[in-house]
A and B are shown apart, each in its own frame.
With several copies, the nearest count.
Chain A
């Protein structure tokens, strides 16, 4: 029950009633697919241009800048290490 994908924030919508601290909705994009997602339970309100992980129409995590790249770099280092060893 845990299908979630990273999507880029295109827009933050201001709350209808002005209630709460967060704008509740963001428009996000993945390769040209756009959807409005709720921000009710995201750990940190994203800025436009940041990536969020989206599950069931809700953002559940805002990626730290460079976090994904760092994750990938970690894998690349591992690969280089193996290649160096081999």
Chain B
């Protein structure tokens, strides 16, 4: 029986949620952490995991976890959302997007609101589903909303190649993809940021390799541990960060070896490099960062929604009072924002950090003990 086999297979998540092993990890972390330590979980998927499994509750008061810029929805510039809303409302255009993006507010509302006004917005699970949509609707142009980091960009790149191979003239990509290392460098360069370690993103590292963080650890003297997403993965990575911190080390370490190698995934990197070129990109909260975004390379211009449509993309101001930028830079915790839980809630978000379930404000609001509701 397939289900039975799979359930007992070592790769299944249940094994990595064992409360006994977790208790052992926690005991070790408690033993080691004798002074206040502040770690940033870079990746939004870590943020969700930490809240969903109630891990903060397990950690000693000395260990503080803050959320970083690793939620692609949160860091997507309002201007990108506005462009997608614009595209989705054009006659003959249908926008395909991951569900994550649907509720993110832009300057003129979210894609959900645009759909309510008549725009065509379709939620897909895979960029390949957007290709299928384009094939099924030859009289429309299907634009895929490309957001995500190194984990997602190769899949989208492969989809672009496949669209080209199939000669699908009615498919286009709006690329708002971003890459992590330049953003982390920009973040760590901020003198106001006090951090004792980085929980490095697990699946980004599957692509870029655990080695990608070595320079960072060395250049900024900060412990970096690649972490998986199951509770035991996260606790193990925290334990290793604590250990480095108390031992005064600043190294790049890999606590997610089953999914991450030193060199990463060269095929994925090659596909990505074939389709995308690095460009400067605006990150919400961090501003423009050189070479931190991915645009379609000139060879793929025919598939580039930015080239194909005449869009007036202008930088949009952040919502007044929203402290998303500070939250994403680790300068403020969500409850310190005046809107948090008042004007800004997951049902009606003011800023992007409240939108995606891996957004720091949303996770705090929904799962947090303090200040919630």
Could you tell me if A72 and B100 are in contact, using CB atoms closer than 8 angstroms?
Answer: no
B154's partner among A10, A60, A72, A79 (CB-CB below 8 A) is A60
Could you tell me if A1 and B151 are in contact, using CB atoms closer than 8 angstroms?
Answer: yes
Query: Taking A1-B147, A56-B98 as contacts, is the C-beta distance between A83 and B24 under 8 angstroms?
Result: yes
CA distance A53 to B27 in the complex (A): 30
Nearest chain A CB to B9 CB, angstrom units: 7
Could you tell me if B15 and A72 are in contact, using CB atoms closer than 8 angstroms?
Answer: yes
Could you tell me if B203 and A60 are in contact, using CB atoms closer than 8 angstroms?
Answer: yes
Could you tell me if A57 and B2 are in contact, using CB atoms closer than 8 angstroms?
Answer: no
Could you tell me if B6 and A31 are in contact, using CB atoms closer than 8 angstroms?
Answer: yes
B24's partner among A19, A51, A79 (CB-CB below 8 A) is A79
Count how many chain B residues have C-beta atoms less than 8 Å from C-beta atoms of the other chain.
66
Give the nearest-CB partner of B154 in chain A: A41
Query: Taking A40-B271, A75-B236 as contacts, is the C-beta distance between A1 and B258 under 8 angstroms?
Result: no
Could you tell me if B158 and A2 are in contact, using CB atoms closer than 8 angstroms?
Answer: no
Contact residues, B83-108 vs A (CB, 8 A): 98, 100
The chain B residues found within 8 Å of chain A, CB to CB, are 2-3, 5-7, 9-13, 15-16, 20-21, 24-25, 27-28, 43-45, 70-73, 98, 100, 125-129, 147-149, 151-152, 154-155, 157-158, 161-162, 165, 201-204, 206-207, 229, 232, 236, 239, 256-261, 264-268, 271
Could you list 12 further interchain pairs (A-B, Cβ under 8 angstroms) beyond the known A60-B206, A64-B258, A82-B25?
A4-B259, A31-B7, A31-B12, A38-B128, A56-B98, A57-B128, A58-B154, A63-B11, A70-B258, A75-B16, A75-B25, A79-B25
